Amino acid sequence: MDRSAAAPGVLEGSDVGSQKDRVVTEEEWLQKWEMGNIGFHKEQGHPLLQKYLNVLLNGRSGLRIFFPLCGKAVEMKWLVDMGHSVVGVEVSEQALKEFFAEHSLPYHEEPVPEISGAKKLQSTSGNISLYCCSIYDLSSSIVGKFDGVWDRGALVAVNPCDRERYVSLMITLMEKNSSYLLVTVSYDPNKHKGPPFYVPESEIRSLFGNHYEIKCLQKVDDFSDRHRQWGLDYFLEVLYVLKFVA
């Protein structure tokens, strides 16, 4: 079966109602990290970012790149090594500390005065700033604006009822000439409750369309035994580039 050819067209008009009311709590995400249930983490980094890196950077240097719901993504280290600065946000302090430990990066912690209970873990070099808090507590007055976004495992992890809130925030964090790489997943949402959640292209265009030009760059068959255990028979990753227009 050619999954990459057949699956998206079949699903685009399908019922995602079985997921729309699903809510995953912050405590559940924290427990995933505590239990090591982080199959979503890619230890070698994401091949789609490697392949389309220049779409994100567009030949520019010294960019500020945002990683929403960053976990301990190794791609943050890639970009810093290229001379860019990275800001991430993540509810799991464990994930952030593991990032610094696994890359042998010294860092310091400091409170975030504008956000009660939040803390910022910043590399000693100053070019990696990771906020431990809810993404919805952030604003451009706290973190500034960004030249690029790598959104992999973020939009698809946000509770469906919060997508409009998430996208509204992301739009406020983007510089006018920014590039936004977005990875979604495609599968039969009637067979798996998520996360990751299925977000059809039609919804992406509805959420972002007034502010971005949206182009689908690639669909990749990412099906594995993990997805088979979920009861699925196909699983695609879909990469979009969003160019800010207003």
> Which residues belong to the annotated binding site for S-adenosyl-L-methionine?
29-40, 69, 90, 134-135, 152
SS (H, E, C) the chain: CCHHHHHHHHHCCCCCHHHHCCCCCHHHHHHHHHHCCCCCCCCCCCHHHHHCHHHHHCCCCCCEEEECCCCCCCHHHHHHHCCCEEEEEECCHHHHHHHHHHCCCCEEEEECCCCCCCEEEEECCCCEEEEECCHHHCCHHHHCCEEEEEEECCCCCCCHHHHHHHHHHHHHCEEEEEEEEEEEEECCCCCCCCCCCECCHHHHHHHHCCCEEEEEEEEEECCCHHHHHCCCCCCEEEEEEEEECC
Annotated binding site: 29-40, 69, 90, 134-135, 152
Neighbours of 186 (CB within 10 A): 23
* Token pair listed for 88: 């991430």
- Matching residue, tokens 């779409």: 55
**Dist CA 119 CA 112 (whole Å):** 5
